[in-house]
């Protein structure tokens, strides 16, 4: 396959949005071996509680075990491959296939087969026909991830430096929870279009969302219509080892874009902040109360401050299912949590007025890449290239200003690495040089032809 990513020049081939071969390779190289979000622990508190989820194009059942651990299994019967569990969530003692009635325990074991004695005459080995188990399931502050590849790094190591930033609102503030069930919608775009947008695109906010910013009147409203840039030092962009990235706009928690609600949230946070500052230091405590956009590679995104958590599930090169939860602090009063969730769904839910703005862009960039000539060209993520650096205090690679494409470059640098590598062991080789690849990118750009 021709190279898709030019790290040195900050370019990506337009083929990444449409090409079927690229999509199939992504299912194997990315979705079959990276950690993927499954659910939040609070959604399945008791033995037998389950949700169904997706890992790439595979469907899985995520189920709480009798010993309280969590396991995940392919939602596929070992007889003729029909779906074993047809519903999104519930509590079960067993999963019974709709086709011929094979029955599985919540531990995945095949427990009963109709007319086993009469029809199989002792020749079916039930012990080798349990549901196929997802190799790894692990939890980060209640957020449950699964991984098909037993050789992958631990979830903790996979999140790596990103945890230093995430821990402020995943741990320091007492933790967060997802309010479900998630809303679901189908977007006619490639799964990377929204994932890259959330990983590091503060550039589009004032322009794409100009009307939404004005109508909402939240703390970011002054950006409407590209009226101005945030001042120097107003934020931060970061990218980390495995492509996870984030952007921070300091002290602009917009409370889901609703000023009265923002004031209430700011008052709530002001009470908690001194303790966070004491425990985690002033530098990190500042992220609590800031607006943070981010993605965990490959397809999980969140906006802290806009209170959304989304997963972009690939169904095909130009079909992506969006799962959306509201994300709230655990110890908030129930009534405040609900108002935050309502506000999030007004803005970023299925019919949210910010969501519609974004989907328009996601769909056009993905679908235009069907054009034969269009996909011979390249996509540009050069903003801030040459200014990415290591920082003595901040983990990862840091960009030079609040608005730039540092996190895009880090996301696609790892995308290229994982698409090219045969195994996780091969990717070990990248540990030493990945930062240098990014911080040394961009030299000699001016005058070079812009082509993939
Ligand atoms: S396909 Fe499931 S019982 Fe036959
Ligand atoms: Fe947006």
Spatial distance between the Cα atoms of 96 and 195, rounded to a whole number of angstroms: 35
Among 19, 201, 357, 388, the active-site one is 201
Q: Which residues contact 55 (CB under 8 A, 6 or more apart)?
A: 31, 36, 38, 134, 146, 148
Rounded (10°) angle between helices 353-368 and 192-200: 120
pLDDT category, 258, cuts 50, 70, 90?
A: confident
Residue position matching structure tokens 């640098």:
413
Q: Whose CA is nearest to atom 1 of ligand 1?
A: 80
Q: Is 141 an annotated catalytic residue?
A: no
Spatial distance between the Cα atoms of 136 and 162, rounded to a whole number of angstroms: 20
Q: Is 345 an annotated catalytic residue?
A: no
Residue position matching structure tokens 């775009």:
189
Spatial distance between the Cα atoms of 74 and 121, rounded to a whole number of angstroms: 27
Mean pLDDT, rounded, of the chain: 94
Mean pLDDT over residues 303-332, rounded? 96
Q: pLDDT (tens digit, 9 = 90+) per residue, 337-349?
A: 999 999 999 999 9
Question: Closest-lying ligand to the alpha carbon of 209?
Answer: 2
Q: pLDDT (tens digit, 9 = 90+) per residue, 47-93?
A: 999 999 999 999 999 999 999 999 999 999 999 999 999 999 999 99
CA of 354 to the centre of ligand 2 (A): 6
Residues with CB under 5 A from ligand 2 (ion): 358
Beta bridge partners of 211: none
Helices (H) and strands (E) in the chain, counts: 13, 21
CA of 97 to the centre of ligand 1 (A): 6
Q: Is 315 an annotated catalytic residue?
A: no
Spatial distance between the Cα atoms of 300 and 325, rounded to a whole number of angstroms: 11
Question: Closest-lying ligand to the alpha carbon of 103?
Answer: 1
The DSSP secondary-structure symbol of 282 reads: H
Q: Is 18 an annotated catalytic residue?
A: no
Q: Is 201 an annotated catalytic residue?
A: yes
User: What pLDDT is stored for residue 425 in this prediction?
Assistant: 97
Give one word for 257, left, alpha or beta, with left for phi > 0 and alpha for psi -120 to 50: left
Instruction: Give the SS3 label for residue 303.
Output: strand
Pocket mutation for ligand 1, best pick of 79, 120, 126 (most atoms within 8 Å of C-beta) = 79
Mean pLDDT over residues 96-108, rounded? 98
Residue list, ligand 1 pocket, CB within 6 Å: 77, 79-80, 82, 97, 99-102
The DSSP secondary-structure symbol of 290 reads: S
Spatial distance between the Cα atoms of 259 and 277, rounded to a whole number of angstroms: 25
User: What pLDDT is stored for residue 451 in this prediction?
Assistant: 53
User: What tokens were used for 94?
Assistant: 């067993």
Number of other CB atoms surrounding residue 317 within 10 Å: 24
pLDDT above 60 for 321: yes
pLDDT above 70 for 254: no
Mean pLDDT over residues 176-187, rounded? 95
Question: Closest-lying ligand to the alpha carbon of 97?
Answer: 1
Domains and CATH numbers, the chain: 36-139 (2.102.10.10), 160-439 (3.90.380.10)
**For residue 229, which of 405, 403, 406 has the smallest C-alpha distance?**
403
pLDDT category, 448, cuts 50, 70, 90?
A: low
> Which ligand 1 atom minimizes the distance to the CA of 113?
3
Spatial distance between the Cα atoms of 191 and 212, rounded to a whole number of angstroms: 24
């Amino acid at each position: 396959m021709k190279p898709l990513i030019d790290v040195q020049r900050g370019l990506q081939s337009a083929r990444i949005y449409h090409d079927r071969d690229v999509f199939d390779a992504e299912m194997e190289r990315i979705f079959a071996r990276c950690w993927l979000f499954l659910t939040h622990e609070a959604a399945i508190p008791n033995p037998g509680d389950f949700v169904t989820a997706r890992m790439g194009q595979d469907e899985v059942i995520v189920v709480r075990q009798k010993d309280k651990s969590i396991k995940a299994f392919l939602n596929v019967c070992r007889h003729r491959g029909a779906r074993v569990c047809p519903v999104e969530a519930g509590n079960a003692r067993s999963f019974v296939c709709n086709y011929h009635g094979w029955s599985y325990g919540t531990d995945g074991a095949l427990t009963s087969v109709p007319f086993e004695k009469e029809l199989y005459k002792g020749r079916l080995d039930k012990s080798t026909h349990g549901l196929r188990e997802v190799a790894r399931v692990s939890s980060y502050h209640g957020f449950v991830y699964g991984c098909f590849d037993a050789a992958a790094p631990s979830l903790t190591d996979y999140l790596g430096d990103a945890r230093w930033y995430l821990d402020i609102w995943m741990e320091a503030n007492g933790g967060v929870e997802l309010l479900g069930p998630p809303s679901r919608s189908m977007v006619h775009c490639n799964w990377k279009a929204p994932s890259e947008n959330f990983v590091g695109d503060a550039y589009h906010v004032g322009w794409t969302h100009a009307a939404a910013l004005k109508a909402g009147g939240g703390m970011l409203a002054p950006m409407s219509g590209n009226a101005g840039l945030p001042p120097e030092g107003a934020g931060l962009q970061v990218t980390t080892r495995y492509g996870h990235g984030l952007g921070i706009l300091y002290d602009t928690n917009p409370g889901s874009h609703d000023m009265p609600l923002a004031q209430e949230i700011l008052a709530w946070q002001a009470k908690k902040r001194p303790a966070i500052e004491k425990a985690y230091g002033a530098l990190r405590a500042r992220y609590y109360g800031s607006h943070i956009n981010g993605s965990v590679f490959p397809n999980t995104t969140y906006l802290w401050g806009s209170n959304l958590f989304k997963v972009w599930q690939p169904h095909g090169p130009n079909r992506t299912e969006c799962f959306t939860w509201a994300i709230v602090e655990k110890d908030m009063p129930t009534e405040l949590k609900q108002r935050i969730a309502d506000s999030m769904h007004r803005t970023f839910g299925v019919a949210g007025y910010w969501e519609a703005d974004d989907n328009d862009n996601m769909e056009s960039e993905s679908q235009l890449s069907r054009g034969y000539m269009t996909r011979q060209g390249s996509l540009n993520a050069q903003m801030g290239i040459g200014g990415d650096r290591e920082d003595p205090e901040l983990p990862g690679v840091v960009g030079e200003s609040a608005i730039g494409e540092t996190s895009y470059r880090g996301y696609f640098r790892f995308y290229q690495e994982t698409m090219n590598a045969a195994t996780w062991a091969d990717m070990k080789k990248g540990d030493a040089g990945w930062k240098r690849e990014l911080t040394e990118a961009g030299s000699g750009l001016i005058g070079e032809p812009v082509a993939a």
